[in-house]
A and B are shown apart, each in its own frame.
Chain A
Amino acid sequence: MTPLLAALPGGWQTLMVPLDVKSNPVMQGITWFATHFIGLFKAGAESFVDLSTGVIPLLLVLITFMNALTTWIGEKRVTRAVQWAGKYAVTRYTIMPMLAAIMLTNPMCYTFGRFLPERYKPAYYDATVSFLHPVTSIFPHANGAELFVWTGVSAGVMKVDGGAYARLAVLYFLVGLIVILMRGLVTQWITTFLIKRGGHTETFKKYDADYAAGRLESAEGAVA
């Protein structure tokens, strides 16, 4: 159909546009917009269903088990293990962040830094925060809000090869431990360097002395 010229009362002429969907460019535009607008969200809803059925059930069961396990083990026992692990560089940047992440979860895991001398705190932070994504491959409860770094990549792997998914989960966790050890040592080294260069040597010597004194005090307290 073509637009018609119609005479209105009073001598005016106007363009009459028939409301035919197929030939009318305005209606075509509206139809196009409506279809694709909804399509956009339909695609979003599909992704949501994919994620919910794929991720949530496994996650919920796993989180429940891990929560129960952390309750059974108890914070006190972990605190003791962490204090031991803090003494040696190798365990300070592997076992200590791992226990902190699994037991205290993000962001409370950083509080275990209080068991360390001041000069090691930046390196401990670096190691711990760097483990908060690898840890989710096996212990998703540790960092519930940031799961998709792991889940996003691994969901793709799962679709291609289920066996590779399991191997990838374990490897991400283990390589994570190696990486945070390396990261902790490098950051510790750079911290020492910056302490010297920034002229903080005396300040940190005093902190070390305070820490040693505090340690003796708490050791006596433990005996009493």
Chain B
Amino acid sequence: MSEEQNPAVRIDHGSGGWGPGLVVRAHGERNIVLSVTGGDEHPVAKKIAELTGGRVVNAFNAGAPDNQVLCAVINCGGTARSGVYPKKRIPTVNVFNASPGGPLQKYITDDIYVSGVGVDNVQPADPAEAAIGDDSAESAASAPAAPAPAASAATAAAQQPSRQTKEATGFSKFIIKFGGAIGYVITSLLNAGREGVKMILNTVIPFMAYVALIMGIVNYTGLANWIAKSVSPLAGNLWGLLLLGIITALPVLSPFLGPGAAIAQIIGVLMGGQIAAGALPVRYALPTLFAIDGQVGCDFVPVGLGLGEAQSETVDVGVPAVLFARQLTSPLAVVIAYFFSFLV
């Protein structure tokens, strides 16, 4: 197969971008990198074309038949244009950071779409890697044979503007640059909002519902008063807080108090209720925060070290090191916070 000679290109998502990345390769007639970014041909499109041996067509100057488009390079905030090319199953490279959204969201899948791509994210692929459309290479190669006249006409039309006669100059160049910058700012804000809503919806609200349920039960049954009565003497003075800090950090206890910070969060909410009710002075909030948090992360040491690519010996040494150190540093943190609490 002659197609195999075309080099494949790996396109990864950039900083803040989305998707596991794409591998594309030119197949016969399917060799156009469509630049749909406005202004000049986008550098990312140029780099993809250069590495695949394809050619760039600026969509604002000329059209290109869909069956010849290798991939489309776009700059879009994720509401309309991001979905148009994925809907046609054309691999889409977004230079902005949009993650899937908008009315065409269901077409924007990670096998066909990558975002936040910069020039540095476009690299030659491992030759062994399968590229999009490899399996249909024969059909792609044979298909253009039939509509040859139409295709060649389109190719001619597409090639003509590639002479770059329409190079923007002066004022229009400024407008395009300015527009691009505004677009970038708005897109990243919009995307940040979308990520924020996802986080609130997926992690904050479910926890809030659970906390609210427990709070309801605890308050309604009068359990809150009972807990407050037993905890207040502990939380209301330095010695009690120190004791709390020592208890939460006990090596036999801390790994069980840790998971999801669930227990610390409940105690935090209860303490907050006591402060609001005036049962605890405001300035005790600071040492309390450290006293109820002595166990933080003690359940997660091996995993956290693993994420830092630690060797197994480091994990062997690190787990007891963190647990023992915590026994010392947890009450010490309470003392430090206690002295700073005079500033609250």
Contact = CB atoms under 8 A, between A and B. Distances in A.
B216 A207 contact: no
Given A159-B276, A175-B286, A178-B336, A153 B271 contact: yes
- Most chain B beta-carbon neighbours within 10 Å: one of A141, A168, A200: A168
Interface residues of A, number: 92
Contacts of B200: 56, 59-60, 63, 144
A114 to B, nearest CB: 4
A33 interface: no
B196 A126 contact: no
Interface in B239-276: 260-261, 264-276
B103 interface: no
B310 A64 contact: no
B220 A110 contact: no
B290 to A, nearest CB: 7
A45 B301 contact: no
18 contacts: A44-B215, A47-B216, A72-B188, A107-B307, A113-B304, A113-B305, A116-B308, A122-B317, A132-B296, A145-B261, A149-B293, A152-B269, A172-B286, A174-B340, A182-B332, A183-B326, A187-B329, A191-B318
Contact of B305 (A67, A122, A153, A203): A122
Given A118-B311, A153-B272, A159-B276, A68 B261 contact: no
Nearest to B288: A153
A99 interface: no
Interface stretch (A1-9, A12-20, A21-29, A35-43): A35-43
Contact of A40 (B220, B309, B337, B344): B220
Contact of B318 (A122, A144, A147, A207): A122
B147 interface: no
A55 B316 CA distance: 41
Interface residues on B, range: 35 or more
Nearest to A44: B216
A156 interface: yes
Contacts of A48: 208-209, 212
B186 to A, nearest CB: 10
A147 B325 CA distance: 25
Given A64-B192, A130-B297, A149 B322 contact: no
B97 interface: yes
